[in-house]
C-alpha cells in the first residue's frame, strides 16, 4: 500500500502499539508505520524493543517505561504529548495495558485532555481463547493472580459465581501451584493450557485440572502460560 494514501500520524497523540507475542510476523503493517513515523518509543524494556525495531530497520529514540517508574515517566510522556510529539508506547509482547504497563499513562493522558489511539494487534488471551475450543460468547480475563496463597485462594473462590470461560496468565514457575488450586476448587471443569503462543513450539493441552497437573509435574515445560478454565459443566 502507498503510504501517501494513508492519514499521517496526529501530533500530540499517544499510540498504543501491539507488538509480537512470539512470532515476529505477528506485527501489523499499521504498527510498523506508526513506529517509523512516531517521534519517540516508550518501551517496557528498551533492549527488547530495540531489537524489535532493529529487525524491521527502524531507528527511533527509546524511553524506558516500566512498572516501577510509571509515575515519573507518565508525566514526562504527557509533557512530550503537550509539545505535540507523537509517542508510541509498546510492551515486551502483546497489547499495552493488558497485564503490562500502559494503563496508568493512558488514564493520565485522557484526564489531561490528550489524545490516545490504539493500534491493535497480537494479544495472548484472544489468541488462546479463540483456539481453545472453550466458549467464547462470554469470558472473564483475570490475568496474573496474587502471589500470596491466601489472596489467590480468595480470588479463585470468588470467581466461582462468574459465568463463562475464565482466563489467567501464569509463569512456568507457578503453573503447578495454580493447577493444584484449580484441581481442588474446580476438579470437573474443562481446562486448556496454551503455551509459547505463535512460536515454533506452540502447544495446547486439554483436560481436567488434576490430570493436567500430573502432566506438568512430569514434563516441567518452559514458557509463559495462558490458562483457560471452562464454565461449570451441566449436571
Secondary structure (3-state) at 195: strand
- Domain finish residue from 58, 86, 119: 119
CA distance 191 to 165: 10
Q: Please provide the distance, in angstroms rounded to a whole number, between the alpha carbons at the two ends of the chain.
A: 54
Categorize the per-residue pLDDT at 4 as very low, low, confident or very high, splitting at 50, 70 and 90: low
Structural domains counted in the chain:
2
Q: Which domain holds residue 89?
A: 3-119
Do the domain assignments include residue 234? no
Q: Is the pTM of this model over 0.85?
A: yes
Tell me the torsion sign for CA atoms 219, 171, 193, 209: positive
CATH assignment of the domain containing 189: 3.30.950.10
CATH assignment of the domain containing 23: 3.40.1010.10
The string of pLDDT tens digits covering residues 64-105 is 987 777 778 899 999 999 999 999 999 999 999 998 888 999
Amino acid at each position: 500500500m502507498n503510504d501517501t494514501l494513508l492519514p499521517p500520524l496526529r501530533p500530540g497523540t499517544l499510540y498504543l502499539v501491539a507488538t509480537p507475542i512470539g512470532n515476529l510476523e505477528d506485527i501489523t503493517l499499521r504498527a510498523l508505520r506508526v513506529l517509523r513515523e512516531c517521534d519517540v518509543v516508550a518501551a517496557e524494556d528498551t533492549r527488547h524493543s530495540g531489537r524489535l525495531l532493529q529487525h524491521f530497520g527502524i531507528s527511533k529514540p527509546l524511553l524506558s517505561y516500566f512498572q516501577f517508574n510509571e509515575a515519573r515517566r507518565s508525566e514526562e510522556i504527557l509533557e512530550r504529548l503537550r509539545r505535540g510529539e507523537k509517542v508510541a508506547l509498546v510492551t515486551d509482547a502483546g497489547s499495552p495495558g493488558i497485564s503490562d504497563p500502559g494503563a496508568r499513562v493512558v488514564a493520565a493522558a485522557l484526564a489531561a485532555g490528550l489524545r490516545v489511539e490504539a493500534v491493535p494487534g497480537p494479544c495472548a488471551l484472544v489468541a488462546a481463547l479463540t483456539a481453545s475450543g472453550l466458549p467464547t460468547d462470554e469470558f472473564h480475563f483475570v490475568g496474573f493472580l496474587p502471589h500470596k496463597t491466601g489472596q489467590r485462594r480468595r480470588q479463585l473462590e470468588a470467581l466461582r459465581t462468574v459465568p463463562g470461560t475464565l482466563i489467567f496468565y501464569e509463569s512456568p514457575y507457578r503453573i503447578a501451584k495454580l493447577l493444584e488450586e484449580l484441581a481442588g476448587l474446580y476438579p470437573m471443569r474443562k481446562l486448556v493450557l496454551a503455551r509459547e503462543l505463535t512460536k515454533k513450539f506452540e502447544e495446547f493441552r486439554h483436560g481436567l485440572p488434576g490430570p493436567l497437573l500430573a502432566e506438568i509435574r512430569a514434563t516441567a515445560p518452559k514458557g509463559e502460560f495462558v490458562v483457560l478454565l471452562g464454565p461449570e459443566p451441566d449436571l
